[in-house]
Amino acid sequence: MDHPRRLDWRTSAMVLERLIEFEAVHQIQGWPDLHRRLEADRRCYAFFHPALPDVPLIFIEVALTRGISGNVQPLLDPNARVEDPTRANCATFYSITNCLEGLRGVSFGSLLIKQVAEELAKEFRRLKIFATLSPIPGFREWLQAVPDRIPEILRPSFTELGGGTFDPLTAPAQVKTQLIGLCARYLLHAKRGHAPADPVARFHLSNGARLERLNWAGDTSSRGLERSLGLTANYLYQLDSIEENHEQYVKTYRIVATRTIERLASGSSPL
């Protein structure tokens, strides 16, 4: 395994078929969808092993955007207009997939993110921000594990979600405020041992990222609603502080987050 390989529409059909097969975060809905994800304002990179030249070990999908993206649906829209990548100032990592079952416990993800960020920074001089647009897969389960965690005003939301009618875009402001605060609390304080309970948070924070922002209605797909009531998170990779953040996490499990997130978790920050 050497440097990440960029995949585009000229990549062999066998490899591209693997992307459609393995994509685990946001399912690829056939060839037109994949084609849009490989356009000029998108990037896909993968690690390969010399013994398996047509099977990616892990791959990452990136959108080149103006500012940090908070909503994944526009990034996944196969009919979205292709933007000029040279005008982008942010690389938004919106999906990372470990392809081989036998390697699920061996993560090359941190190395892939760092190398891709460095490669993109060389290619695009305006690119200064490297951030994820991430799911929060354990949030709803954490809320429901202890019914008393769910404030009275939120309980109808769970009933509606079970019936498939919950819509974060029309939810009352109080529901939004309560859920975002609870989600911040979950990401900062819910634990699996000493580490964050949420697997995506655990991955990015251990890699040296900072928990930057929570996004209401950031993923309104059925899966996004089922896992996190539509919330998404941005983790920021600042190239000059990744190592320091990583070392602090390894030594003390310290979570680096913005003050806004910390205030939300304590219930002291209005939206």
Nearest 5 degrees, angle CA 137-CA 140-CA 142? Answer: 95
Concerning whether 204 is annotated as a catalytic residue, the answer is: yes
Spot the catalytic one: 95, 204, 206, 228: 204
- Domains of the chain as residue ranges with CATH: 5-132 (3.40.630.180), 139-208+224-229+243-266 (3.40.630.150)
Helix intervals (H) in 94-230: 109-123, 139-145, 155-162, 173-189, 199-206, 222-228
- What number of helices (H) and strands (E) belong to the chain? 11, 9
Spot the catalytic one: 134, 157, 206, 228: 134
Residue 42: C-alpha distances to residues 14, 27, 36, 84 (Å): 20, 16, 8, 10
Residue 59 to residue 98: CA distance in whole angstroms: 7
The number of angstroms, rounded, from the C-alpha of 15 to the middle of its chain's C-alpha atoms is 23
Give the model's pLDDT for residue 270.
47
How are strands ordered across the β-sheet holding 90-98?
5-7, 42-47, 58-65, 90-98, 129-132, 232-236, 210-215
List pLDDT tens digits, range 99-157: 866 555 445 667 889 999 999 999 999 999 999 999 999 999 999 888 888 878 777 76
Question: What stretches of the chain adopt beta strand conformation (E)?
Answer: 5-7, 42-47, 58-65, 90-98, 129-132, 191-192, 195-196, 210-215, 232-236
Concerning whether 49 is annotated as a catalytic residue, the answer is: no
Residues present in the chain in total: 271
Tokens of 99: 């392809």
Residue 66 to residue 107: CA distance in whole angstroms: 29
Per-residue pLDDT at 1 exceeds 60: no
List pLDDT tens digits, range 214-243: 999 999 999 999 899 999 999 999 988 988
